[in-house]
Amino acid sequence: QVQLVESGGGLVKPGGSLRLSCAASGFTFSDYYMSWIRQAPGKGLEWVSYISSSGSSIYNADSVKGRFTISRDNAKNSLFLHMNSLRAEDTAVYYCARETGWRFDPWGQGTLVTVSS
């Protein structure tokens, strides 16, 4: 079945870096756009970044522009989010999600990133 599994979250100090991964299975990964979406504790969902199927087109939310970089490895069915200059307000559960048409389906289970000294 279609599955997305995130990893790489953890505790990091302000100003630090982290790389999140999302392993895809059960579908032809290279055919789909992918996104990262985050949810701060007790808060709503916030779209962070998306990447086209080939990786040639990338868009980022203003809140992470210049700090976060999305990438993918279609040969390894993997999506990444490289996060630099992390701030306390980046603390959240980060979900990867497949873009199917104009919707997100499915979502991974999420990985928690905590930015704290």
Partner 1 sequence: QSALTQPRSVSGSPGQSVTISCTGTSSDVGGYNYVSWYQQHPGKAPKLMIYDVSKRPSGVPDRFSGSKSGNTASLTISGLQAEDEADYYCCSYAGSYTPWVFGGGTKLTVL
Is there binding between residue 61 and partner 1 (CB under 8 A)?
yes
The nearer residue to partner 1, 23 or 61, going by C-beta atoms, is: 61
Is there binding between residue 110 and partner 1 (CB under 8 A)?
yes
Q: Nearest approach, Cβ of 117 to partner 1 (angstroms)? A: 27
Peptide bond connecting 106 to the previous residue in cis, omega within 30 degrees of 0: yes
Single out the residue of 35, 51, 72, 113 in contact with partner 1 (rule: CB under 8 A). 35
In angstroms, the CA 27 to CA 110 distance is 19
Single out the residue of 3, 54, 85, 109 in contact with partner 1 (rule: CB under 8 A). 109
Is there binding between residue 103 and partner 1 (CB under 8 A)?
yes
Is there binding between residue 31 and partner 1 (CB under 8 A)?
no
In angstroms, the CA 55 to CA 14 distance is 29
Strand order in the sheet with 68-73: 3-7, 18-25, 78-83, 68-73
The nearer residue to partner 1, 7 or 109, going by C-beta atoms, is: 109
Strand partners, 115: 12
113 residue type, one letter: V
